[in-house]
A and B are shown apart, each in its own frame.
Chain A
Amino acid sequence: MERPERAAAALGAQPRANGCSGAAHGGLRNGYVRGLPAPDTQINHIVHNGGLYKRPFNEAFEETPMLVAVLTYVGYGVLTLFGYLRDFMRQWKIEKCQNAIEREEQKDFVPLYQDFENFYTRNLYMRIRDTWNRPICSVPGAKVDMMERVSHDYNWTFTYTGRVIKGVINMGSYNYLGFAQNDGTCQQAAAKVLSRYGAGVCSSRQEMGNLDKHEELEKLVARFLGVESAMAYGMGFATNSMNIPALVGKGCLILSDELNHASLVLGARLSGAAIRIFKHNNMQSLEKLLKDAIVHGQPRTRRPWKKILILVEGIYSMEGSIVRLPEVIALKKKYKSYLYLDEAHSIGALGPTGRGVVEYFGLNPEDVDVMMGTFTKSFGAAGGYIGGKKELIDYLRTHSHSAVYATSLSPPVVEQIITSMKCIMGEDGTTFGRECVQQLAENTRYFRRRLKEMGFIIYGNEDSPVVPLMLYMPAKIGAFGREMLKRNIGVVVVGFPATPIIESRARFCLSAAHTKEMLDTALKEINEVGDLLQLKYSRHRLVPLLDRPFDETTYEETED
């Protein structure tokens, strides 16, 4: 395998949390012991292609214990049986049907609303619906206020009691660097811009919606990323789903990670290109697909593919894993394909100065053809960007739907991004942004280490601020969310269809705004709930990602 020649040699020999070199950082803020290895050092230091990595890459996924898997299926079995019973009763009008049904005069048509996911929503999701969409009524910072609501008909409808649950510790928002604030420099700057430009732009970038602020933002983003040029869009989701179709089309091939975000999947499907899916973060699988694509070309005609585009994310938001970027880049160079990197979660959150996964691995941003990211997470704003070569951006400016047809970013939002980004870059004359990045890295290490010690099954890379804690059983999804809220901690729980059916989980997102006391409170409560619900499944049997079962069938998934 070819080695990437150019690589910043900035990282010292001693790997630190999140690649932060501890210089310029007197006394640790939260007083953590940094860089201490976890007591049971069974973590597999994966050194496949070790030469490509300049830092240890500790990423492990513990196997689902057999008993837990069986019991989870039992739970789903019981729920499914009762679901059928309830459906039966609804059909015979014993019970009032509250969900969408066909109109009387269309009863004999092909049903519009009936499929499995509908059954799932009606009969399983409805039972724990109170765990999601909880309205909050404050800035989603380290602590939030939530509106209390109750349901008198088993979650079909909710009523608000008018009370507010104050000071809930927020472990769910993607507020990695703590820039979701309603005071401070960002807010002041945004307020000033709001009083000058107003909130709406009322036109697209192509027409009357191209403000000087947008130009300033794009220059700044390009500088931040270390690329030639960049372009900003009003919505992160649309950045993906509208720009991929502008880049590839019929006769092209997309190689997509199986756990890619819905926006990437939608963009890939809209593009009309052939899509093949490789196993999550599995480089053998990717290489096999690349090799096959080059050897066999397009199906039937056997012409070579026009373009091959690899779609990966920086941090996968459900698994907490970090992409094996050095290997992906090596493969991309070897097989001369293009790379589209979605840094939605990693920008700001990884790397010594928050430049994302490229900096985390000490690579050159020029090796990534399309750098995409969002401002929704670390910057506490809204929107997305694409960075890359000047030709690429110029092309996208005229060809991307979200540049031509969508209203451009609102000026106060732009100002929030500019101010927070300058803060991270240290251009505001303080070291605050840098400290936030370091604080996040410390919080991440601390939180992950403590959870692991308690015996929970935690997925993902040890540097990833997204921390999935496995719950598995459907009843525990609801119970965990409710019990945590009872203890004044807001968490996000995730189940099917966002995850495989048995791998339901709770997902914590750490933030630089969390103090040690908050984390300790949260950990104490998690520990308690973990004992109550028996969530400490870990048998400390870790499977390195590469050794996860790799069956070869996936690669013919979407033969066009």
Chain B
Amino acid sequence: MKKTVFLGALTVAGLAAGAAAAGTLDDVKARGKLNCGVTTGLVGFAAPDANGEWHGFDVAVCRAVAAAVLGDPTAVEFVPTTGKTRFTALGSGEVDMLARNTTWTLSRDVDLKFTFVGINYYDGQGFMVPKALGVSSAKELNGATVCIQTGTTTELNLADFFRKNNISYEPVPIETNAEGQQQYLAGACDTYTTDISGLAATRATFENPADHVVLPEVVSKEPLGPLVRHGDDEWADVTRWTLNALIAAEEMGITSANVKEMASAPGSNPEINRILGTEGNLGEMLGLSADWAVNAISAGGNYGEIFARNIGENTPIGLARGLNAQWTDGGLLYSPPFR
């Protein structure tokens, strides 16, 4: 232990992780609390309300994991991270998992040594401009000043997009979404670019959202999902299957309203029984209690409920399910079988 204390002092936070990498599940159980890295504030995805309580689409994943592991969806310590600090926070062991609209890329998976446990939002990068600018396509943005969050895939996609189309731009690097919003609204940049879901969420907080449009071009694939440190497969399994449980629950019609009742006795659908722990021992295999999925689903409902409540069409953010519909509805959500 002394070793790691010393190391932490000598090297950058983030390198001492070696010793702490294994056994995250046990650490979380012993601590009685899950440390979950989220954004510094993106309404709909992760933002604290007036009482300091965190809400959002990504927050719901943290809460589901906490519920599955500890039986308590409130046993979460939310750690706000910027695009730049998030990986150091995860790598150093400051957080047990990241749920921070983070794009799954090869280099993050392989070179930065993280494990993406799934995808909770299929997204793409877009551009938002004020309507008054009179721009209808991103290709007309030659010479424009563009606000981007540093340390994101956004930054690299942007460079690629402008290079591919042989047009120039002036990047204005910013640290957090709040800063980006300030600069964009003050007209210090012509356009703000990030994941389209993020643009929708940002625009929803504007005074006059209707004055701004998201341009039609989607310049990249941004599969967003939770991630954990590389090399702790047990913990990766727990988070992966908690997310799968939320997705499978929607597919099988398990909701926060009926989950208690369905779990009280084995029903006629064996897969539902296996998920809810009334049949088989999937929970035990994961090192969790038999009712882990019941707890996870009770925390905030199934995937569909979480989506609808935080970012769905009836919220100010108003995102359609699109690619994020169940595979049975023509979307891409497809949980592997629970058996």
A binds B: no
Chain B residues within 8 Å of A, Cβ to Cβ: none
